[in-house]
């Protein structure tokens, strides 16, 4: 059963089937591993221990037959941060079993305009990720699980997940076509 605690890190060990992430920003440079991002921008090689803790989290989940998926909404040309995230982050995280998809809005409207970044655990427990205008992480907002919503209410985060996956392409396919643009 998913943890009812408001501890985002704990959710990655307690989900049962799937952790889904929607990423909407072009730049998360003020969050996470700023040293690695600076190294990328300076043209340095990727550190051998890059993303080691996250890779272990992903491996534990995927080796237990759990799915970890992300869809990132992007528009070309990519920002320097997205080149870093996709070129270093996604390619590295895939080695542990995380699956990535790209919803490219370069030549079409964004079907999820205004939807915030979020994790959705087991299709029923959303955690909105709050960022400021510069991409600095402000913290999570834990929303009620599906069974806590009013009767008859549409579970919007499961719908967002469905739309994102239906309108995206596998990252490897997209990267092969657009990764050098």
User: Which CATH class for the 9-178 domain?
Assistant: alpha beta
Question: pLDDT class for 151, splitting at 50, 70, 90?
Answer: very low
Contact yes or no for 101/170 (Cβ under 8 A)? yes
DSSP string, 100-169: EEEEE-TTS--TTTTPPPEEEETTTEEEEEEE-TT--EEEEEEPPPGGGSPTT---HHHHHHHHHHHT-E
Contact yes or no for 100/58 (Cβ under 8 A)? no
Q: Which H/E stretch holds residue 22?
A: strand 18-23
Question: In the chain, where are the structural domains located?
Answer: 9-178
Residue 142 has pLDDT above 90, yes or no: no
Q: What is the mean pLDDT of residues 91-115?
A: 97
Number of H helices, E strands in the chain: 7, 7
Question: pLDDT class for 3, splitting at 50, 70, 90?
Answer: very low
- pLDDT tens digits, 62-86: 999 999 999 999 999 999 999 999 9
């Amino acid at each position: 059963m998913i943890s009812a605690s408001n501890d985002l890190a704990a959710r990655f060990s307690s989900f049962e089937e799937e952790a889904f992430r929607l990423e909407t920003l072009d730049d998360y440079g003020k969050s996470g591993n700023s040293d690695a991002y600076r190294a990328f921008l300076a043209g340095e090689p990727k550190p051998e221990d890059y993303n080691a803790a996250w890779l272990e989290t992903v491996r534990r989940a995927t080796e237990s037959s759990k799915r970890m998926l992300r869809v990132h909404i992007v528009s070309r040309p990519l920002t320097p941060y997205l080149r870093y995230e996709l070129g270093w982050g996604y390619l590295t995280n895939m080695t542990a079993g995380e699956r990535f998809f790209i919803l490219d809005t370069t030549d079409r409207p964004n079907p999820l305009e205004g939807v915030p970044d979020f994790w959705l655990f087991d299709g029923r427990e959303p955690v909105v990720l709050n960022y400021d205008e510069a991409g600095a992480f402000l913290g999570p907002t834990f929303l009620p699980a599906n069974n806590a919503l009013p009767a008859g209410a549409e579970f919007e985060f499961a719908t967002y997940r469905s739309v994102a996956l239906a309108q995206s392409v596998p990252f490897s396919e997209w990267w092969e076509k657009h990764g050098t643009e």
